[in-house]
Amino acid sequence: MTESHETAVHAEHDHKPHGWRRWVFATNHKDIGTMYLIFSGVMFFLGGAAAMGIRAQLFKSGLELFDPAEFNQLLTMHALMMIFGAVMPAWVGLANWMIPLQIGAPDMALPRLNNLSFWILPFAGALLMSAFLVPGGAPAGGWTMYPPLMEQFGASFPMVIFAIHLLGISSILGAINVIVTIMNLRAPGMSLLRMPLFVWTWLITAFLLIAVMPVLAGAVTMLLTDHFFGTSFFNAAGGGDPVLFLHVFWFFGHPEVYILILPAFGVISEIIPTFSRKPLFGYEAMVYATASIAFLSFIVWGHHMFTVGMPVSAQLFFMLSTMLIAVPTGVKVFNWTATMWRGSLSFEPPMLFAVAFLFLFTIGGFSGLMLALVPSDYQYHGTYFVVAHFHYVLVPGAVFAIMGAVYYWLPKWSGRMYDMRLAKWHFWLSAIFVNVLFFPQHFLGLAGMPRRIADYAPQFTDWNMVSSIGGFVFGAAQLLFPYIVWRCVRSGKPVGANKPWEGARGLEWELPSPAPYHSWQEPPSEAVLAHGAEH
C-alpha cells in the first residue's frame, strides 16, 4: 500500500479543537458525521424500545399491558422516531463522513450550515419525544397522520408538527450541503461518471429530499391551520376534503421511502464489489436505474390509496406506474448478483449484511409487486401484509445497509478493527430473527389481521407469538452493536494499513487509517485517483 504524499502531509497538521467546543461549534465533516450517527443510534434504541412495547402487547390475544390509546401512541412514535430519527440521520451521518473522503474534497461545502442542520436535530428529537409527557399523551394517529383523526389529539399535536418542521428543515439543509459539495468539490478528474455509487445515490436522494420535504411541511401546516385557525383544507364540513391530505402526504411519502433506501443501494454497491474482489457489474446501468427509480417515485403515490375511492383510471395508472418501478429495482438486484458471479467472495461482517440485504430486500420487492396489483391490494391494504412488506425493505433493507456501512468504514474512521467474531454473532442473530419477526406477519395479514390494532382475535395468536419472540431476540441482539463499536473505538487492534479490506476500491482507501482530521486538503492527483480505482 502506498501512502500518498499529500496524506502524509495532512497527518502532521492534524490539530483539532478540544473539549465541548469541538462538538458544539463543530464544522468538521467527520465530527458532524459522528454526531449524526450517535444521534441516530440513540433514536434507534428509543424507537426500538417502543417496538418492544408493541410486540409485548401483541404477544397474545387479550388486552394487557397498554390501553389501546397508549398502544396507538407507541405505534405512531415508533414510526416517527425510526424514520425521521434513526434512518434519515444515519444516512446524513454517513454522507458527512464519506462523501468528502470519496470525492477527494477537504470537507463539506457549507460547514456552518452543516453544524446548524445537525444541531437542529437534538432539539427536534427532544420536542418529538416530549410529546409523551404532555396531557393526552403523544399523537396516536399513525405516522401517516390522517385527518380528521390526527386533530383529535391534544397538546402534543402542534408539538409534533413543529418537530416535523424542524426535522424537515434539517434534512433540507443537509441535502443542500450534499448537492453543493458533490457539484463543486469533486477532485479534478473525478467526473460524475467516476463517482462511487454511494455518492451517486446520495446526490439523487438529496434532490428527492429537497423536492418532498417541503410538501410534508405543507401538509402538516395545513393540518395545523385547520385545527387552530379555522381553515378547512381537509374538513369536509367546511368544503374541504380529507383525501386531499392523503394525496399530499403520499406525494411526500412515497419518495420518502426511497430517501430511506437509495443510499442503501449505494452502500451495497460499495460492499459487494469489495468482498467479491471484482468491479461492480453495470456501473452506468446502476446510476440510470437509481435515477429512474427516483423519477418514478414521484408518480406512484396513489398505490397507498387504492381503497379510498379514486377513479378506476387513476387506480389503473398508479398500478402500472408502480409495477414499472419493479423494473429498475430488478436491474439493481441483477447487477449485484452479477457482481458476485465469478467473483472471489469472502464473508466479513459488512459482506454478510450486504448478502442478507440482497435476499431480504428482494423479498420485500416481491411483496411490493403483489401489493401493486390493485384487486389484490384491496385485500392486503391496511393489514399486516403491508407491515411485513415495508419492514422487509426497511429493516433488513435500510437498517442492515446502515450497519453494513458502519462495519465497512469503521476501521477507516477509527483506525481500529472491531471484534469480527462478535460482529458475526450480531449478524447471525439479526439475520435469523428478523425473519422470525417479520415473515409470519405475511401470514397474519393474509389471514385477515388488520394492522395498527391493539388487540386481536385468538386465532392470530400463534403467529403473533412467533413474531414477538423474533422481535425480542432481534431487539436484544442489537445491543451488541453499540458495544462492538465502542470496544473497537476504545481498544480495537490498530489496522495500520490504508485498506483493511484487500478488495476495496475508492479514494477513501487511499487515506491512512484512521482518516486524518483534515483530509484531502490538497485534492488527490490523477495518479491517486487511478490507484484508488484499482484493486
- Touching ligand HEM, residues 294-313 (CB under 6 A): 303-304
CB of 378 to ligand HEM, least distance (A): 9
Residues annotated as catalytic (active site), given as ranges: 78, 107, 143, 170-171, 254, 256, 258, 269, 303-304, 329, 332, 451
Contacts of 117 (CB under 8 A, 6+ apart): 92, 169, 170, 171, 173, 174, 177
CB of 388 to ligand HEM, least distance (A): 10
CB of 434 to other proteins, least distance (A): 17
Contacts of 292 (CB under 8 A, 6+ apart): 328
Mark 327-349 as b/e (b = at least 16 C-beta within 10 Å). Answer: ebbebbbebbeebbeebeeeebb
Q: Are 140 and 72 in contact (CB under 8 A)?
A: yes
Task: Give the dihedral sign, CA 243/308/395/362.
Answer: negative
Q: Specify the residue, 340 or 371, whose C-beta has the smaller distance to ligand HEM.
A: 371
| Alpha-carbon span 474 to 486, nearest angstrom | 20
| Alpha-carbon span 495 to 488, nearest angstrom | 11
Q: What is the dihedral of CA 159, 165, 171, 176, to 10 degrees?
A: -160
| Alpha-carbon span 436 to 428, nearest angstrom | 12
User: Does 254 participate in binding Cu ion (rule CB under 5 A)?
Assistant: yes
Q: Are 479 and 496 in contact (CB under 8 A)?
A: no
User: Does 55 participate in binding Cu ion (rule CB under 5 A)?
Assistant: no
Q: Specify the residue, 91 or 390, whose C-beta has the smaller distance to ligand HEM.
A: 390
Q: Specify the residue, 107 or 151, whose C-beta has the smaller distance to other proteins.
A: 151
CB of 254 to Cu ion, least distance (A): 4
Contacts of 295 (CB under 8 A, 6+ apart): none
Q: Specify the residue, 68 or 122, whose C-beta has the smaller distance to other proteins.
A: 68
List the one residue from 222, 372, 402, 528 that touches ligand HEM (CB under 6 A): 372
Neighbours of 154 (CB within 10 A): 14
Q: Are 122 and 40 in contact (CB under 8 A)?
A: no
The option from other proteins, Cu ion, ligand HEM, none interacting with 394 (CB < 5 to 8 A, set by class) reads ligand HEM
User: Does 260 participate in binding ligand HEM (rule CB under 6 A)?
Assistant: yes
Q: Specify the residue, 223 or 484, whose C-beta has the smaller distance to ligand HEM.
A: 223
- Under rule CB under 6 A, which residues in 449-478 are in contact with ligand HEM? none
List the one residue from 129, 352, 398, 401 that touches ligand HEM (CB under 6 A): 398
Which residue do the cell numbers 409523551 mark? Answer: 132
CB of 87 to ligand HEM, least distance (A): 9
Question: ∠ CA 70-251-156 to the nearest 5 degrees?
Answer: 30
Provide the CA 451 distance to its chain's centre, in angstroms.
22
Contacts of 366 (CB under 8 A, 6+ apart): none
Query: Of 78-86, 218-226, 254-262, 503-511, which segment contacts Cu ion by CB under 5 A?
Result: 254-262
Which cell goes with 491?
481498544
List the one residue from 6, 151, 377, 508 that touches ligand HEM (CB under 6 A): 377
Tell which residue, 42, 37, 72, has the closest CA to residue 54.
72
User: Does 523 participate in binding ligand HEM (rule CB under 6 A)?
Assistant: no
User: Does 255 participate in binding ligand HEM (rule CB under 6 A)?
Assistant: no
CB of 19 to other proteins, least distance (A): 46
CB of 361 to ligand HEM, least distance (A): 7
Q: Specify the residue, 323 or 432, whose C-beta has the smaller distance to Cu ion.
A: 323
Q: Which residues of this protein are in contact with ligand HEM, per CB under 6 A?
A: 144, 257, 260-261, 303-304, 322, 325-326, 329, 365, 368-369, 371-372, 377, 380-381, 386, 389-390, 393-394, 397-398
Residues that bind Cu ion (CB under 5 A): 254
